[in-house]
């Protein structure tokens, strides 16, 4: 891999409000880049390197938009003697007009180009092509730098064909590229295309695709480990309190109040642990600006998972419920309702549209719920410990796992230009059916040990992580096979990007 000072640099240029910053955000994996409604928000160039494993793969420069391209072109034509001096003429324009407020934006966007940056010219394919852009494209062609044009269609109308014909006369490569929804493979294809434009870029950009592919695989394994850790913590967790021996009898207000307090503390821990997992996954994928909307785990009574009304409300099949391990028996007494709203900013709806509930029994027989347990007396002070948890029903583990895998998928597929909420439509099928028997068995065995409050040994933790990794792979394939649209990942940006 070349040192970072040899990594390719690309200046992202174009007319204001055409999606330049969206392209930069996605290609640099940086969701902190401002994407605003107002044209001309960017008045200075900003550089954004993409770094993997301490290697800068390439650098993107977000530039101001063209403001007076026709006036600039008039100046260039007046000062150029022949085609051979055009790059020098562009450089002369920048040096002579750097302090001229009329041409500040043009000088700012041309500076990285005359210093050797490649050109990514961004247009909005939802608006018609006009001759107004020809001045911009002519100026860029005069620089003599390698160039690529991206048609980033923002609105509903489609004028891509006319843009292709016009751009092809000015740029070496023309591609359609949706900065919000473009899949990972399209990112790599752009790098490969740029590598063909300049010989000394071919090797570093080929290595960049290798690094990014490996990063994607590594993140998937790291996600599996994070999910396995959170699942173990949530299944094993219990709340306890030391009490005097003369605790009031069951049914008294004091005992009921104690049970309520421990139960609520247990739930609060579960909420906080799940939220920490969400943040860890988002940070891993360099998403720092996601505002999630997700209903918290809440206490509910007497849920019948197999009732027809419940199934229709959650849009899940009996086959899924049985596959996921929900067929252990009717749910009665105290239960857990893992309820989401179907709207998720990267964290929410359970896999396959399962909005979800899980019966959860604490201590004692599954059909005779004993939520509060008193331990033996300890010491001369005759103290004893009241405990609540860990969860006994494996259904809860599948709910946690399902929510986590679904959240991971949305985050791993989400481009860094996305700003709108994510929405997961319900489905009557499920990825879990695709898991091989050994992976299902590994998950089931691990949950069985965790509900006893056991901490998994390394040789028990690794099979669980491998099974969850297979679940991530299977879920991604399941979404692809079921025609998952990237519209369900990001429905676009908040307003039209600049």
Output the furthest CA–CA distance in the chain (Å, rounded): 102
**pLDDT attached to residue 360:** 30
Minimum mean pLDDT among 57-71, 425-439, 445-459: which range? 425-439
Taking 70 as the threshold, does the pLDDT of residue 88 lie above it? yes
What is each CA distance from 269 to 194, 339, 423, in whole angstroms? Answer: 49, 17, 26
Bigger pLDDT: 308 vs 202: 202
Contacts (Cβ under 8 Å, ≥6 apart) of 439: 466, 467, 470, 471
Minimum mean pLDDT among 191-205, 267-281, 377-391: which range? 377-391
Domain boundaries of the chain, sorted by first residue = 4-214, 237-488
Distance CA 353, CA 355 (A): 6
Query: What is the pLDDT confidence band of residue 294, given thresholds at 50, 70 and 90?
Result: low
Taking 50 as the threshold, does the pLDDT of residue 314 lie above it? no
Distance CA 122, CA 105 (A): 16
Query: What is the pLDDT confidence band of residue 490, given thresholds at 50, 70 and 90?
Result: very low
Superfamily of structural domain 4-214: P-loop containing nucleotide triphosphate hydrolases (3.40.50.300)
Strands (E), 15-146: 46-52, 55-62, 118-123
DSSP three-state, residue 34? coil
Query: What is the pLDDT confidence band of residue 172, given thresholds at 50, 70 and 90?
Result: confident
Query: What is the pLDDT confidence band of residue 184, given thresholds at 50, 70 and 90?
Result: very high
* Mode of pairing for the β-strands spanning 173-176 and 147-151: parallel
Query: What is the pLDDT confidence band of residue 420, given thresholds at 50, 70 and 90?
Result: confident
Query: What is the pLDDT confidence band of residue 293, given thresholds at 50, 70 and 90?
Result: low
**pLDDT attached to residue 370:** 33
**pLDDT attached to residue 470:** 93
**pLDDT attached to residue 319:** 53
Taking 90 as the threshold, does the pLDDT of residue 381 lie above it? no
**pLDDT attached to residue 18:** 82
Query: What is the pLDDT confidence band of residue 498, given thresholds at 50, 70 and 90?
Result: very low
Contact yes or no for 125/15 (Cβ under 8 A): no
Query: What is the pLDDT confidence band of residue 174, given thresholds at 50, 70 and 90?
Result: very high
**pLDDT attached to residue 484:** 53
pLDDT 10s digits, 114-167 = 999 999 999 999 999 988 799 999 999 999 999 999 999 888 899 999 999 999
Per cent of the chain over pLDDT 90 is 44
Contact yes or no for 420/490 (Cβ under 8 A): yes
Token pair, residue 415, equals 């481009």
pTM to 2 decimal places: 0.80
Bigger pLDDT: 1 vs 33: 33
**pLDDT attached to residue 273:** 94
Q: How many CA within 13 A on the CB side of residue 171? A: 26
- What is the average pLDDT score of the chain? 77
pLDDT 10s digits, 446-478 = 988 998 888 999 999 999 999 999 999 988 988
**pLDDT attached to residue 378:** 53
Contact yes or no for 389/313 (Cβ under 8 A): no
Minimum mean pLDDT among 138-142, 186-190, 484-488: which range? 484-488
Contacts (Cβ under 8 Å, ≥6 apart) of 394: 325, 328, 444, 447, 448, 451
Peptide bond into 390 cis (omega under 30): yes
**pLDDT attached to residue 483:** 66
Query: What is the pLDDT confidence band of residue 332, given thresholds at 50, 70 and 90?
Result: very low
Taking 80 as the threshold, does the pLDDT of residue 34 lie above it? no
pLDDT 10s digits, 210-269 = 999 999 999 999 999 999 999 999 998 888 887 766 655 554 557 677 777 888 888 889
Radius of gyration of the chain (CA): 29
Q: 423 φ, ψ to 5°?
A: -135, 130
Which among 233, 220, 321, 215 is positioned nearest to 275, based on CA atoms?
233
Distance CA 91, CA 106 (A): 12
**pLDDT attached to residue 491:** 41
Distance CA 153, CA 134 (A): 19
**pLDDT attached to residue 229:** 97
**pLDDT attached to residue 361:** 28
**pLDDT attached to residue 72:** 97
């Amino acid at each position: 891999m070349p040192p970072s000072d040899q990594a390719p640099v690309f200046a992202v240029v174009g007319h204001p409000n055409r999606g330049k910053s969206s392209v930069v955000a996605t290609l640099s994996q940086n969701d902190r880049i401002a994407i605003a409604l107002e044209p001309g928000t960017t008045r200075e160039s900003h550089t954004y390197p993409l770094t993997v494993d301490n290697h800068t793969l390439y650098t993107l420069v977000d530039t101001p938009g063209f403001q007076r391209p026709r006036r600039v072109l008039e100046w260039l034509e007046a000062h150029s003697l022949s085609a051979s001096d055009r790059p020098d003429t562009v450089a002369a324009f920048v040096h002579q007009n750097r302090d001229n407020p009329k041409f500040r934006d043009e000088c700012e966007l041309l500076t990285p180009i005359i210093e050797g940056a490649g050109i990514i010219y961004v247009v909005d394919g939802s608006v018609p092509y006009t001759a107004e852009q020809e001045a911009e494209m002519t100026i860029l062609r005069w620089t003599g730098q390698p160039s690529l044009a991206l048609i980033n269609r923002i609105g509903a109308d489609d004028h891509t064909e006319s843009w292709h014909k016009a751009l092809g006369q000015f740029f070496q490569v023309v591609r359609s590229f949706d900065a919000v929804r473009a899949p990972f493979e399209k990112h790599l294809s752009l790098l490969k295309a740029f590598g063909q434009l300049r010989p000394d870029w071919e090797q570093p950009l080929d290595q960049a695709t290798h690094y990014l592919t490996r990063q994607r695989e590594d993140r998937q394994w790291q996600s599996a480990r994070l999910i396995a850790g959170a699942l173990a913590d949530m299944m094993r967790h219990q709340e306890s309190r030391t009490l005097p021996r003369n605790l009031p009898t069951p049914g008294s207000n004091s005992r009921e109040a104690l049970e309520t307090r421990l139960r609520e503390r247990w739930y609060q821990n579960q909420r906080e642990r799940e939220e920490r997992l969400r943040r860890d996954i988002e940070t891993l994928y360099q998403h720092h600006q996601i505002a999630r909307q997700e209903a918290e785990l809440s206490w509910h009574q007497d849920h019948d998972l197999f009732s027809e009304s419940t199934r229709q409300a959650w849009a899940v099949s009996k086959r899924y419920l049985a596959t996921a391990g929900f067929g252990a028996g009717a749910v009665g007494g105290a239960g857990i309702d893992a309820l989401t709203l179907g709207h998720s900013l990267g964290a929410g709806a359970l896999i396959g549209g399962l909005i979800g509930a899980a019966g959860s029994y604490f201590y004692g027989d599954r059909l005779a719920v004993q939520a509060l347990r008193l331990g033996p007396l300890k010491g001369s002070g005759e103290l004893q410990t009241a405990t609540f948890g860990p969860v006994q029903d494996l259904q809860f583990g599948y709910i946690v796992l399902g929510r986590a895998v679904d959240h991971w998928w949305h985050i791993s597929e989400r481009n860094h230009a996305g700003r709108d909420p994510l929405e997961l439509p319900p489905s009557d099928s499920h990825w879990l059916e695709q898991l091989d028997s050994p992976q299902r068995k590994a998950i089931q065995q691990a949950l069985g040990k965790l509900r006893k409050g056991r901490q998994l040994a390394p040789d028990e933790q690794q099979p669980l992580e491998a099974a969850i990794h297979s679940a991530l792979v299977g879920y991604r394939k399941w979404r692809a096979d079921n025609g998952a649209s990237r519209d369900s990942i990001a429905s676009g940006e908040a307003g039209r990007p600049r």
